[in-house]
Chains A and B, each alone.
Chain A
Amino acid sequence: MGQFLVRRILTIIPTLIAISFVIFAVLDLAPGDPTSALPETIDPQVRQQIRKVMGLDEPLPVKYSLWMRQFFVNEPLALIEKAFDVRIGDSENRLRVTSWGSRGTPVMDIILERVPQTLWVVGLAYVVAIVIAVPVGVVSAIRQYSIFDQLGTFFSLVGYSIPTFFTGLLMILLFSVKLKWFPMIYDTNLQVVDWDSFIQQIKQSIMPVAVLGFFQAATLARFTRSSMLDNIPMDYVRTATAKGFGERYVVIGHILRNSLIPVVTLIALGIPAIFSGAIITEQIFRVNGLGALLIGAIQLNDIPLVQTVTFIFAFLIVVFNLIADVVYGVLDPRIRYR
């Protein structure tokens, strides 16, 4: 297991490098010119000078290796300095990845400002999804073809088919416009200081969390149900029942324990996807998170910011793939890693 872990972690390094190259190349080979957003009145010679200072005239491999150094050496060092309040080497002159949009602010600082909002919405949504999906899937499987099962299956297929941008608008229509229960727009500046502002925070989070959570719950419930159905006809279940255990014990202690193995893997694999899904949800409710940052950066042609956010999404996918692999091995003793 230990050896497997080391090897598995080592394989993500070339993957990440390849991904970073793809992201870098796509952005770099694109025909857009970052100086095109500057005023037309700038003298062509000055424009050329600006391009040179930005390093746009260098060949691709040079640009890529410079960017790699900034991204994989300078940025982590800056993060460590910030986190532990220490100085490592010549930190003032170390070049950081800076945003083109907001006057040279380091990209990482902007991103760190946005992460809490996204984490709050995404994290809560995922918790809600799991809490709803697993029991629904379990009961549907035990009472297969019952009314509950048919309703559950139907709703999960419907929930899986209706896009989040439509459910979000429907919720706004129902709960903000008609019933006036929840605010239409998520207020990111809200500080939770007392009970009232806490209630307000909960109120404004309900709709984004519900939209993201229900969509995820639909997928998870379908998967939990089919995983349970795979295990129910197994011999060990019959043995447990024959030994005289009650239904509740057999279901929870035997069937559920085994059925949850693939479900847990799917949960780990789904975390990056829900971050991507948050891009849309954040747009509907104007949550000022990572997704909104990416959209804004794309519209402003802020290439360093776009590169970094996209790479963070890719990083999440790779890391959670690793976590899913490891968790699967830990939970299922039949899996042997060599």
Chain B
Amino acid sequence: MAVRTETASADELVDELPQRQHRTLWGDVWLRFRRHRLAIFGMVVLFMLIVGVLVGPLVYTVDPEYSFIVDDIDSINQRPSLKYPFGTDDLGRDTLARNIFGGRISLAVGVVAMLVAITFGTLVGVLSGYFRRLDNPLMRFTDLMLSLPSLPLLLVIIMLFRDSLKAWLGPELGIFLLVVFVIGILGWMPTARVVRGSVLSVKEKEFVEAAVSVGTRQHTIVRQHILPNVLSPIIVSATLGVASAILTESALSFLGLGFPSNVPTWGRLLFENKDFITQNPWLVMWPGMFISLTILSINFIGDGLRDALDPRQRR
């Protein structure tokens, strides 16, 4: 008796099942993130700022260093007008162009300094969470770094090393690397602590035990099993890290110890123009507004991400 061949194969059976939308991990995160109205608002604002800063110079082709005094002696400290959309500063330079250019540097400093801090913080956190022998010395080191007064130390380090790095790598790249590196090196500690805490709890989970028991090598365990599971706190602290790095850079520039005057950043623009606040308040309004908007939207995004990535809220 022949086997009935009418029965559908397994593949066909699956095809006949009602099609269900696949749900991925990041899809779920996005779903929860979308519910956070302020976070979406922050994302839109930040996106516009980034696009404006990247595309701006292609559309608005005024040289940020060009002084319009050459053409017209009255073009200093102009208020916003059709000719100068954001006005001009005390040397007759176009404020919009300077703000766009400054935004590029401020945002770049924020992102790169965050990368330095996150890389170092994650490294320290994973090492001290996973390897018990390293835990105590690394955490004491973290505590020590946390007791260092960061703003005074930043000011001191930048002041002391500014000239030699300028001579070595040129004024722009040298200062950029110095600022980014110092902000990163003085900002990794919170990340390290958070990551260590997560690693400590993930390490005890059954899947890690399973991996150990089948003889997985340690660096593979860390890379394949530990790191993906501590990604959420890293992402949140990376987001907030960008905000705090931008804030620190602006504070440094505001104290006159950041970038040189031919490299405008938002903080530098505030510093340069604060003495002209009576003549032309717009000069400080623009960079101040941009810094505040950036920080605010990043903080909103960070809040949204924290809620979205929290597994306890998963429904």
Residues on A lying within 8 angstroms of B by beta carbon are 15, 18-19, 22-23, 26-27, 30-32, 157-158, 160-163, 165-166, 169-170, 172-173, 177, 272, 276, 279-280, 283-284, 294-295, 298-299, 301, 306, 309-310, 313-314, 316-318, 321
Contacts and interface: CB of A to CB of B under 8 A. Distances in A.
B306 to A, nearest CB: 12
Given A32-B160, A163-B291, A318-B147, A279 B296 contact: no
B159 interface: yes
A22 B255 contact: no
Given A31-B163, A158-B296, A161-B296, A279 B151 contact: yes
B275 to A, nearest CB: 11
A306 B148 contact: no
A27 B277 CA distance: 36
B281 A173 contact: yes
Interface of B: 143-144, 146-153, 155-157, 159-161, 163-164, 243, 247, 250-251, 254-255, 257, 267, 270, 274, 277-278, 281, 284, 288, 291-292, 295-296, 299-300, 303
Contacts of A162: 292, 295-296
Nearest to A284: B274
A157 B296 contact: yes
Contact of A177 (B144, B155, B254, B278): B278
A165 B148 contact: no
> Which of A163, A272, A318: most chain B CB closer than 10 A?
A163
A163 B296 contact: no
Contact of B148 (A19, A172, A283, A299): A19
B161 A161 contact: no
Nearest to B165: A31
Contacts of B147: 15, 19, 314, 317-318, 321
B292 A19 contact: no
B296 A169 contact: no
30 contacts: A19-B148, A27-B160, A30-B157, A30-B161, A31-B161, A157-B299, A157-B300, A161-B243, A161-B292, A161-B296, A161-B299, A165-B250, A165-B254, A165-B267, A165-B270, A166-B288, A166-B291, A169-B288, A170-B288, A172-B277, A177-B278, A284-B274, A298-B155, A298-B156, A309-B152, A310-B149, A310-B156, A313-B149, A316-B149, A317-B148
Given A158-B296, A165-B251, A177-B277, A313 B152 contact: yes
Nearest to A170: B288
A162 B149 CA distance: 22
A53 to B, nearest CB: 22
Contacts of B155: 279, 294-295, 298
B144 A283 contact: no
Contacts of B284: 166, 169, 173
A91 B292 CA distance: 53
Interface class of chain B by DSSP: helix
Nearest to A306: B156
Contact of A27 (B144, B151, B156, B291): B156
Contacts of B159: 298-299, 301
Contacts of A177: 277-278, 281
Nearest to A166: B288
Interface class of chain A by DSSP: helix
Nearest to B143: A15
B255 A279 contact: yes
A283 B254 CA distance: 9
A199 B146 CA distance: 40
> Which of B143, B250, B255: most chain A CB closer than 10 A?
B255
A197 B284 CA distance: 32
A169 B270 contact: yes
A173 B159 CA distance: 30
A32 B257 CA distance: 16
Nearest to A295: B255
A292 to B, nearest CB: 10
A23 B153 contact: yes
B150 A276 contact: yes
A7 B107 CA distance: 45
A95 B251 CA distance: 36
A50 to B, nearest CB: 20
User: Closest 8 interchain pairs by CB?
Assistant: A30-B160, A313-B149, A166-B288, A161-B296, A161-B295, A162-B292, A31-B164, A276-B151
B279 to A, nearest CB: 10
Given A165-B254, A173-B281, A280-B251, A32 B163 contact: yes
Given A15-B143, A160-B299, A163-B250, 20 more contacts: A15-B144, A27-B160, A161-B296, A161-B299, A162-B295, A163-B295, A165-B250, A173-B277, A177-B278, A177-B281, A272-B149, A276-B150, A280-B251, A299-B159, A309-B152, A310-B152, A313-B152, A316-B149, A318-B147, A321-B147
Nearest to B290: A166
A194 B155 CA distance: 39
A18 B160 contact: no
> Which of A161, A317, A321: most chain B CB closer than 10 A?
A161
A22 B250 CA distance: 25
A163 B149 contact: no
Given A161-B296, A161-B299, A280-B255, A19 B153 contact: no
Contacts of A166: 270, 284, 288, 291-292
Contacts of A283: 254-255
Contacts of B161: 30-31
Contacts of B148: 19, 22-23, 314, 317
Nearest to B251: A280
Contacts of A276: 149-152
Contacts of B153: 23, 26, 310
B149 A314 contact: yes
A338 B254 CA distance: 47
Contact of A279 (B152, B247, B288): B152
B240 to A, nearest CB: 11
